[in-house]
């Protein structure tokens, strides 16, 4: 890599400017319809990118919700060589966050607030990297693009929209919080709504009814005891072991009525060799074995019918993994740390569409969605430098054919 251009890009990355953009993005709520979803934060990001001379568009993904796409045009044809991918939406704030969730406050060397780590800090670093490349007159052989997407927290629709017509780039880096470590993959996820049926009766004469809640309890015990045997061998040296969680449960109409309905949600984290079809078949089989097939209905969550959520794994010697690892080492001064990532990311959506993807971003996943969500200020600058180096490295490889 040309050391001179790397130095020039580093000099064009101003820590105060990166922090100011990150604070601005955190200060704009983007967690639900009550705040207009990502509309205002998307406009703020688009304004910054446009002022830097990048080509910016805001294609609509769903009613009132638009991705922000910024392009550094390439001199030659073909897919963009690199997509920097981050999401603009967040989960809602809690009532017990350490600092105001939308204050954009800096304390103890960190930016605090909802979205600081997941992942507006990374989006600010990506935007700043794009701006620095533009300021330095970089004209890539093939385009470099920033995709700041909507609806990642609620179905991954923003990135899925990018992939509707095939791979949106040759390579992608997704900026979820890895503490600037390199993540090469994660498990897939699949979710189901299971509705257990009963028969209503007065609570004083429960023998005349069938409690859907007690039936559901029996089914839950059956899932806990029988699924491990069905999943024997479903593990991966790279991704870990398959697991499940019951996220919500709801049932009954009043305290003195035998409930005729009880509904719960089932979430499986799965690895290669499994499939949504097999997961549903396992659930139906255990329903049949424990309470009878007619006693419950197993329905796949609509968002998982709409967008597949498979596992992802990139080999350590893949060209993208090597490029990102080299960029991390060049910025941090030590070898890139390989990190495990427990959550699902848009990297899998991109990879499924044919865009090789890895995950690397500032902040710690343990603080995402949490009361103490934050990102270290020095990691913002380091992340921007890493993203710029990845772009320069892949551009050089593209020029070499």
User: Beta 296-300 vs 188-197: how paired, if at all?
Assistant: antiparallel
**Structure tokens that stand for 256 in this block:** 């003195």
pLDDT, tens only, 190-210? 999 999 999 999 999 999 999
Adjacent-strand bridge partners of 87: 149
For residue 400, the model assigns a pLDDT of 85
For residue 235, the model assigns a pLDDT of 87
Residues in the chain: 401
Angle at CA of residue 30, ends 363 and 307, nearest 5°: 85
For residue 237, the model assigns a pLDDT of 87
Q: Which domains does the chain have, with CATH numbers?
A: 3-186+311-399 (3.40.630.10), 188-306 (3.30.70.360)
pLDDT, tens only, 213-228? 999 999 999 999 999 9
CB count within 10 Å of CB 2 equals 9
Distance (Å, rounded) from C-alpha 343 to C-alpha 87?
14
Distance (Å, rounded) from C-alpha 125 to C-alpha 148?
12
pLDDT band per the 50, 70, 90 thresholds, residue 373: very high
The whole-number average pLDDT for the span 304-323 is: 96
pLDDT, tens only, 277-307? 999 999 999 999 999 999 999 999 999 999 9
pTM: predicted TM-score of the whole model, two decimal places: 0.94
For residue 1, the model assigns a pLDDT of 61
**Structure tokens that stand for 161 in this block:** 């929209």
Predicted confidence (pLDDT) at residue 111 exceeds the cutoff of 80: yes
Radius of gyration of the chain (CA): 23
Packed helices 15-26 and 121-135: angle between N→C axes, nearest 10 degrees: 140
The whole-number average pLDDT for the span 60-70 is: 96
String of b and e for 319-346 (b: at least 16 CB within 10 Å)?
ebbebbbbbbebbeeeebeebebeebbb
What are the distances in angstroms from CA 41 to CA 128, 276, 363, 371, 379?
16, 35, 20, 21, 21
């Amino acid at each position: 890599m040309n050391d001179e251009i790397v130095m020039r890009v580093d000099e064009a990355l101003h820590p105060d400017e990166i922090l100011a953009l990150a604070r601005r993005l955190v200060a704009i709520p983007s967690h639900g319809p009550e705040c207009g979803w990502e509309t205002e934060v998307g406009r703020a990001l688009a304004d910054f990118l446009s002022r830097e001379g990048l080509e910016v568009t805001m294609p609509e993904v769903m009613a009132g919700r638009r991705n922000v796409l910024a392009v550094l045009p390439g001199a030659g044809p073909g897919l963009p060589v690199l997509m920097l991918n981050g999401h603009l939406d967040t989960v809602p704030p809690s009532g017990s966050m350490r600092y105001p969730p939308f204050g954009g406050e800096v304390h103890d060397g960190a930016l605090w607030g909802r979205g600081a780590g997941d992942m507006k800090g990374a989006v600010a670093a990506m935007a700043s990297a794009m701006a620095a490349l533009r300021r330095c007159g970089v004209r890539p052989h093939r385009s470099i693009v920033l995709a700041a997407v909507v609806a990642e927290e609620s179905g991954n629709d923003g990135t899925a929209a990018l992939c509707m017509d095939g791979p949106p780039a040759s390579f992608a880096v997704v900026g979820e919080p890895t503490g600037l470590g390199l993540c090469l993959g994660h498990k897939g996820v699949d979710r189901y709504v299971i509705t257990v049926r009963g028969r209503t009766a007065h609570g004083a004469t429960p023998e005349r009814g069938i409690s859907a809640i007690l039936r559901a309890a029996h089914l839950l015990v059956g899932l806990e005891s029988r699924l491990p045997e069905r999943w024997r061998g479903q593990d991966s040296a790279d991704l870990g072991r398959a697991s499940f969680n019951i996220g919500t449960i709801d049932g009954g109409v009043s305290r003195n009525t035998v409930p005729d309905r009880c509904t719960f949600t089932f979430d499986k984290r799965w690895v290669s060799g499994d499939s949504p079809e097999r997961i549903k078949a396992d659930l139906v089989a255990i329903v049949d074995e424990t309470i009878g097939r007619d006693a419950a209905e197993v329905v796949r969550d609509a968002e998982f019918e709409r967008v597949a959520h498979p596992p992802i794994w990139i080999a350590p010697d893949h060209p993208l993994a090597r490029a990102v690892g080299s960029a991390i080492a060049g910025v941090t001064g030590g070898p890139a740390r390989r990190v495990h990532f427990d959550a699902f990311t848009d990297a899998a959506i991109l990879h499924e569409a044919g865009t090789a993807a890895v995950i690397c971003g500032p902040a710690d996943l343990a603080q995402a969605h949490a009361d103490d969500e934050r990102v270290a200020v020095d990691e913002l600058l380091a992340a921007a430098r890493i993203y710029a180096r990845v772009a320069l490295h892949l551009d050089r490889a593209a020029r070499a054919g």
